[in-house]
A and B are shown apart, each in its own frame.
Chain A
Amino acid sequence: MTFALAGNQNSGKTTLFNKLTGANQRVGNWPGVTVEKKEGTFAKSEKLVDLPGVYSLTPYSLEEKITREFILGSETDAIINIVDATNIERNLYLSLQLSELGKPMLIAVNMIDEFNKSGGRLDVKLLEQLIGIPVVPISARTGEGISELVRRAVELNSLPQTPKFSNSYSDYAELADARYAFIESVLAQCLFLVRAGESTKSNKLDDILTHRFWAIPIFIAILGLVFWVTFGPLGSFITDSFAKMVEYGIERAGALLDNTGASAWTRGLLVDGILTGVGAVLRFLPLILILFLCFSLLEDSGYMARAAYVLDYILKPTGLSGRSVIPMVMGFGCTVPAVMGCRSLQNERDRRLTIFITPFLSCGAKVPIYAMVTAAFFPRHGALVFGFVYLLGVAAAIGSAAVLGRLKHFKGKISPFILELPPYRIPEPRSVALLIAHKAGGFVKRAFTLILLGTVIIWLLSNFDFRLRTAAAQDSMLAAISGVIAYIFKPLGFGNWQATTAVLAGFTAKEAVVGTLAVIYEVGTDALPAHIPEHFTAAAALSFIVFNLLCMPCVAAVSCIRRELGSWKITFAALGYQTGLAWVLAFFVYHLIGWFV
Chain B
Amino acid sequence: MKLSKLRTGQSCVITKISGEDALRMRLLDMGLTPKTLVYLRHTAPMGDPMELRLRGYSLSLRRSDAELVEVEAVE
A residues engaging B (CB < 8 A)?
55-56, 58, 60, 86-90, 93, 172-173, 176-177, 180, 198, 207, 210-213, 215-216, 305, 309-313, 316, 322, 413, 416-423
Contacts and interface: CB of A to CB of B under 8 A. Distances in A.
Contact of A418 (B27, B33, B44): B27
B57 A90 contact: yes
Nearest to B57: A87
A180 B46 CA distance: 33
Given A416-B26, A416-B65, A176 B60 contact: no
B57 A312 contact: no
Given A210-B44, A413-B22, A419 B59 contact: yes
Contact of A421 (B22, B28, B58): B58
Contacts of A312: 44, 48-49, 60, 62
B44 A310 contact: yes
Given A309-B49, A421-B59, 12 more contacts: A55-B30, A86-B56, A90-B57, A172-B24, A173-B34, A211-B45, A305-B60, A309-B44, A313-B45, A316-B48, A416-B65, A418-B61
Contacts of B21: 60, 172
A176 B51 contact: no
A10 B12 CA distance: 26
A111 to B, nearest CB: 13
Nearest to B32: A176
Interface string B13-33: 000010001111111111101
Nearest to A417: B62
Contacts of B45: 210-213, 215-216, 310, 313
Contacts of B44: 210, 215, 309-313
Contacts of B23: 416
B46 to A, nearest CB: 4
Contact of B57 (A56, A210, A420): A420
Given A60-B26, A90-B31, A173-B17, A313 B46 contact: yes
Interface centre among A58, A305, A322, A416, by most chain B C-beta atoms within 10 angstroms, is: A416
B25 A56 contact: yes
A173 B59 contact: no
B56 A417 contact: no
Nearest to A176: B28
A58 B29 contact: yes
Contacts of B5: none
Contacts of A417: 49, 60-62, 65
5 contacts: A55-B29, A172-B25, A180-B55, A213-B45, A310-B45
Nearest to A207: B42
A349 B42 CA distance: 29
Interface of B: 17, 21-31, 33-36, 42, 44-46, 48-49, 51, 53, 55-62, 65
A423 B25 CA distance: 24
Contacts of B28: 172-173, 176-177
A210 B62 CA distance: 15
B8 to A, nearest CB: 10
Contacts of A55: 29-30
A575 to B, nearest CB: 33
A194 to B, nearest CB: 15
A210 B42 contact: yes
B58 A89 contact: no
Contacts of B49: 309, 312-313, 322, 417
Nearest to A203: B41
Contacts of B59: 418-421
B26 A56 contact: yes
B51 A309 contact: yes
Given A60-B25, A207-B42, A177 B33 contact: yes
A90 B26 CA distance: 13
A13 to B, nearest CB: 16
B63 to A, nearest CB: 10
Contacts of A305: 60
B51 A421 contact: yes
A538 to B, nearest CB: 39
Contacts of A87: 56-57
Contacts of B31: 89-90, 93, 180
B56 A90 contact: yes
* Pairs of residues from A and B, 6 with the lowest C-beta to C-beta distance, nearest first: A176-B28, A56-B29, A421-B58, A313-B46, A60-B22, A177-B33
Contacts of A213: 45
Nearest to B33: A177
B48 A89 contact: no
